[in-house]
Amino acid sequence: MLDMKNTPSSLLQISSSLLLLVLSGASVKAQTTWNNPTTNAFWNVAGNWSNGVPTSTTDVFFSGTGGDILINASVSNAFKSLKFNANDSDYTLKSSDDTKRNLIGPSSGTSVFQAGFGATNSTLTIENLFIRAYQTSSLGDNGSGNSLIVTGNTQLDTYYTAGFRIGSGTGSIAANSNNTLTVQNGALFASGNITVGGKGEGNKIIVTGSGTILRSNNTSPGLGLTIGNSTSAATNRVEITNGATAELTTTSTAIVGGALMVGKGSSLNHISTTQVQELRIGSKGTLFGAGSIKVGILRYDSALSGAGGGKVYIGETAAGFGELDFTGTWQNSNITLNLEVGDLTGGAVAGTNYDLLDITGAFAFGGNISIDISGAIFGAVDELQIISWTSSTGLPTDLNVSFVNGNSTGYVIREDGLYLQSIPEPGAIALLALGGCGLGLLARNKRKA
């Protein structure tokens, strides 16, 4: 240790300079940038980085035009932050061969993963890796037009106590828009709270392909999958398609604005057995359903985006036919449920030429049922069930049934659902007005594929 009183000033100056150099070096080593090598692009090669191979204390940046980053050995404590922040770039982060490898941040809770961070028009594809970060991570945080593709034998995990947000930075709406996360081909994306378009518009999650899973793990009240916002939310959406699954142990899926689409052969399952699971729809939110949904309660929530009621379409789009298998309680109050009937002359097949909402659980009367019969031809079909339920609550008179784009047809509410009739039977409409006097009638078999 230096004796400050007896040490010459020249030596003190040298010592101070050395201390500053050491501190400066420590600061530099806190980050490293990928050098974008065109050959031998391996993560663990020191020369491929501006300041050596990353460690648990390193902020890692990818700021070039793109290329491959190859992982040829599993790495723990691999980064403090992983930031793809280059404009107009196209990176692929993948295993160097068919072996699935790990790239994991420190478990102390400080690591984050950020794609399209403050960037525009960047693409990051992740293949055959298990990546885990332990803090809230993001896509398009103050960035626009960015794409993250999680594909194949890949698991991207932002840990169960943290979360993932898309287009939800602190900047302007435009600076947090049009970012897309695609999970495909059997990949798994897992996080805590997932927010899509909390700030911007045009942000999406597309989950597609058999074996592909979107998983949200967070049991804190009010947290879960949140879609859109109450101002610029119209084009934010989540699509679960082509046999994909969303498994949610969260307490809430909230469609604040924009849309949630569960396509044919796909499913949305709330799987907690200890807490009430809710699918909530705001006045600026829309649910499209043609697959299966399992949740405790589906309901409208004015707290999400104000008064006005929520919208549900049976089908993948407003104009397409679908069959939605729903397990839970369907509270239709302040919801407009839209169904469609087409040409039945060749036989009625649910999801092919008419819409069917098939509820395993209770249907709570209320709200509106809007039935589009613009293309309806009943042919030999004299009665068609378009909503089925295991039980019902409330009064049928609380349900407003209307027909659009054609002449009104008859309908009747029975013990197990709502039926359309090609030729109205005498008093059929009166049954509804009497508050369900027809509920004791025997139900005819559903014409369902």
| Phi, psi for residue 15 in degrees, rounded to 5 | -65, -40
Q: Which residues of 134-171 are buried (b: 16+ CB within 10 A; e: fewer)?
A: bbbbbbbbbbbbbbbbbbbbbbbbbbbebbbbbbbbee
What DSSP character marks residue 18?
A: H
Predicted local confidence at residue 7, as pLDDT: 46
User: In angstroms, what is the C-alpha Rg of the chain?
Assistant: 28
SS3 430: helix
- The number of angstroms, rounded, from the C-alpha of 229 to the middle of its chain's C-alpha atoms is 14
Residues 6+ apart with CB under 8 A from 302: 282, 283, 308, 334
H-type helices in 294-410, by residue range? 302-305
Neighbours of 319 (CB within 10 A): 11
Predicted local confidence at residue 178, as pLDDT: 97
Residues 6+ apart with CB under 8 A from 187: 150, 151, 152, 153, 154, 155, 156, 212, 213
Residues 6+ apart with CB under 8 A from 44: 53, 72, 73, 75
| pTM (predicted TM-score) | 0.87
Predicted local confidence at residue 222, as pLDDT: 57
pLDDT digit string (tens) for the chain, length 449 residues: 445 445 455 444 434 444 443 444 444 459 999 999 999 999 999 999 999 999 999 999 999 999 999 999 999 999 999 999 999 999 999 999 999 999 999 987 789 999 999 999 999 999 999 999 999 999 999 999 999 999 999 999 988 777 899 999 999 999 999 999 999 999 999 998 899 999 999 999 999 999 999 998 766 555 689 999 988 668 999 999 999 999 988 778 999 999 999 999 999 999 876 778 899 999 999 999 999 999 999 999 999 988 999 999 999 999 999 999 999 999 999 999 999 999 999 999 999 999 999 999 999 999 999 999 999 999 999 999 999 999 999 999 999 999 998 777 789 999 999 999 975 444 444 444 333 333 333 333 333 44
CA distances from 214 to 183, 189, 267 (A): 8, 5, 10
Predicted local confidence at residue 272, as pLDDT: 76
Predicted local confidence at residue 29, as pLDDT: 54
* Strand residue runs (E) in 47-196: 59-62, 66-71, 81-84, 90-95, 101-104, 112-115, 123-127, 129-132, 137-139, 147-151, 155-157, 163-166, 180-184, 188-191, 193-196
Nearest to 58 by CA among 76, 81, 36, 42: 81
| Phi, psi for residue 232 in degrees, rounded to 5 | -115, 40
What DSSP character marks residue 446?
A: P
SS3 22: helix
Predicted local confidence at residue 59, as pLDDT: 96
H-run or E-run covering 17 = helix 9-28
How many CA atoms lie less than 13 Å away from 340 in the CB half-sphere? 24
Predicted local confidence at residue 218, as pLDDT: 67
